[in-house]
């Protein structure tokens, strides 16, 4: 059972296709949005890269005597939005690598 150049060529083609597909997904994630809402008064929108696109705060959330509550709601929305964006990106990239038996290499995904 020696070296088979046909298998190597086939594997290289698969890797190239996967790289192209991953680049396409990374580009698409820029335009895919996730939205979270906390307390019914703070809404945050993120793209698939976890970058904040907008924050909307309902007027009733602004209580000068309880700014800390508003800060907590905003922080919770940001954290949840980043988590959802990361889950979206992982899911989309896993779709690309499905069926490929890849080792766990840091920086590959």
- pLDDT tens per residue, range 73-88: 999 999 999 999 999 9
The encoded tokens of residue 71 equal 């800060």
Residues forming beta bridges with residue 35, ordered by sequence position: 45
Cβ proximity of 36 and 81 under 8 Å: yes
45/8 Cα distance (integer angstroms): 44
Q: Kindly report the number of other CB atoms within 10 A of residue 89's CB atom.
A: 20
Parallel, antiparallel, or unpaired: how do β-strands 33-38 and 52-57 relate? Answer: unpaired
- For residue 109, is pLDDT > 50? no
pTM passes above 0.85: no
Question: Widest CA span of the chain, in angstroms?
Answer: 76
pLDDT tens readout for residues 24-60: 999 999 999 999 999 999 999 999 999 999 999 999 9
């Amino acid at each position: 059972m020696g070296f088979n150049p046909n298998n190597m060529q086939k594997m290289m083609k698969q890797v190239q296709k996967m790289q192209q597909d991953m680049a396409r997904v990374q580009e698409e994630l820029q335009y895919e949005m996730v939205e979270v809402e906390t307390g019914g008064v703070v809404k945050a929108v993120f793209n698939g890269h976890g970058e904040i696109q907008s924050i909307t705060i309902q007027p009733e959330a602004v209580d000068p005597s309880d700014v800390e509550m508003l800060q907590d709601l905003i922080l919770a929305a940001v954290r949840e939005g980043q988590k959802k964006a990361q889950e979206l990106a992982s899911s989309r990239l896993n779709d690309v690598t499905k069926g490929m038996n890849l080792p766990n290499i840091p920086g590959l995904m």
